[in-house]
Amino acid sequence: MNSEFGKQIQKIFESLPPEEREAIISHGVTIVLSNLKKRVFLAESKVRYFEGKYNVSLADLDTNGIPDDADLEMHEDYVMWHHWDKVAQKIKKEIVSLEEIAQQGLSMGEFSLAGY
């Protein structure tokens, strides 16, 4: 988003009554949380898939290493397994942050923290 457009949006947003601004942010947080929870479910499903496929947790595999007789598929899966685990961890952090906002609500002082 270019800065001029962002400034225009900010100006319009600030012109709204406080309860409207709070409602917009509250609804936005709800929508984003819903999307993030779907994404973390997908990522965790992928991690569980690999755990089931190889009958081992990623943590155990990291500790003990990939077996010497592992085929190329396992090596490729290991890379993807780590990817999905990192995605899940990152999204979980985002969810925690947004849930804090959702639980506390947004007082007028907190609008400045949201960039407004």
d(CA 63, CA 79): 15
d(CA 27, CA 98): 12
* pTM: predicted TM-score of the whole model, two decimal places: 0.74
d(CA 69, CA 100): 46
75 CB-side CA count, 13 A:
5
How does pLDDT run along the chain (116 residues), one tens digit per residue? 578 888 999 999 999 998 898 888 888 999 999 999 999 999 999 999 999 999 999 999 999 999 999 999 999 999 999 999 999 999 999 999 998 887 776 554 444 444 44
- DSSP line for 18-86: HHHHHHHHHHHHHHHHHHHHHHHHHHHHHHHHHHHHHTS-HHHHHHH-S-TT--HHHHHHHHHHHHHHH
